[in-house]
Amino acid sequence: MIGVFDSGSGGLTILDALHKRLPDQDFLYLGDHANAPYGHRGSDQIVTLTRNAVDTLMQAGCRLVIIACNTAASVALRTLQQTWLPTAYPERRILGVLVPMVEAMTGVPWSQEHPEEHPGAGKREDRTIALFATRKTVESGAYVEEVCKRAPHLKLIQKACPGLVDAIEGGAGTRPMNGLVDGFVAEMLDAAGGAPDAALLGCTHFPLVENAFRAALPATTELYSQPDIVAASLAAYLDRHPEFRETGTGEIQLLTTGRPADVTAASAYLPDHLSRFESAARLKD
């Protein structure tokens, strides 16, 4: 069983893609709705909340956990991998959504931090990429740092989107949602001085309103699909590390730290089987 963690319902976009890519794999999803959103929290809080959630999933039997939250992955993943996991669960692994996206944007494997080390690196074109994310992901600078290491010729324009996660989790209607997205895209285009070559929705909630971003962005701007890229990356990881692949029945369990009845709004954007949450408290019964 593979665990998938998000601060709320955004990680369901990743879970849906993982399930489609690995239909025989069992998944246990945990949304920390009681403490969502993470975008305005301090870094120490995010590390603590993420560690607690990963610990919950591992206690439930998950040997591999995907942090399907850009904010948690940007702020907490490396700390947990280096300082907590080796002692708490040395034979288990935590992966995040940031690594596959950096690889997709730069064309450079994560293990190679300098483009000159990668065959054909000099042939890549200069590109401008817009990153739409939470304020905390932007402030962490994680995407800019890792992209710059591997592809300094790329220009990454970050645009924080405060309030958008809250609107999605709260089930805001089409008109106010489109208004928010239109405003963020307009501000990004003004800062970029024109249409970017590509855009990344760097919060797993944002693909739930991908149509709004696609409508607001110039038609020439490529839109990276984080769910599909992360799913392909996990499949490749399991091929390299078959010890973490466990053939199951394709069962999906959804848990929340909040009240199950209160977390249906964002789930309405997804198939019905991704909207039936149970309380995470049952794991302690």
**Helices marked H in 118-225 — which ranges?**
135-140, 142-150, 164-169, 174-192, 210-216
Q: Which residues are catalytic?
A: 69, 203
Residue that finishes a domain, picked among 185, 207, 225: 225
Higher pLDDT: 267 or 140? It is 140
DSSP class of residue 247 equals B
Does the structure show a pLDDT above 60 at 121?
Answer: no
174-218 tens-digit pLDDT:
899 999 999 999 999 999 999 999 999 999 999 999 999 999 999
Higher pLDDT: 285 or 250? It is 250
Read off the CATH number of the domain in which 152 is found.
Answer: 3.40.50.1860
Residue that finishes a domain, picked among 225, 253, 270: 225
Does the structure show a pLDDT above 80 at 33?
Answer: yes
The pLDDT value recorded for residue 115 is: 52
User: Which pLDDT band, with edges at 50, 70 and 90, does 122 fall under?
Assistant: very low
Rounded to whole angstroms, the Cα distance separating 272 from 264 reads 10
The pLDDT value recorded for residue 265 is: 63
Rounded to whole angstroms, the Cα distance separating 206 from 161 reads 10
Mean pLDDT (whole number) for 27-53? 94
213-258 tens-digit pLDDT:
999 999 999 999 999 999 999 999 999 999 999 889 999 999 999 9
Query: How far from each other are the two terminal CA atoms of the chain, in whole angstroms?
Result: 20
Provide the mean pLDDT of the chain: 91
Residues 119 and 168 in one domain: yes
* Burial zone of 243 (CB within 10 Å; 0-12 exposed, 13-18 middle, 19+ buried): exposed
The pLDDT value recorded for residue 275 is: 79
The pLDDT value recorded for residue 170 is: 85
Does the structure show a pLDDT above 70 at 155?
Answer: yes
* Burial zone of 50 (CB within 10 Å; 0-12 exposed, 13-18 middle, 19+ buried): buried
* Burial zone of 139 (CB within 10 Å; 0-12 exposed, 13-18 middle, 19+ buried): middle
Residues 215 and 148 in one domain: yes
The count of structural domains within the chain is 2
Least confident of 46-50, 58-62, 76-80, 112-116: 112-116
Residue that finishes a domain, picked among 225, 244, 262: 225
pTM: 0.90
The pLDDT value recorded for residue 171 is: 82
Residues 60 and 81 in one domain: yes
The pLDDT value recorded for residue 268 is: 63
What is the residue range of 25's domain? Answer: 2-96+228-284
Residues 172 and 239 in one domain: no
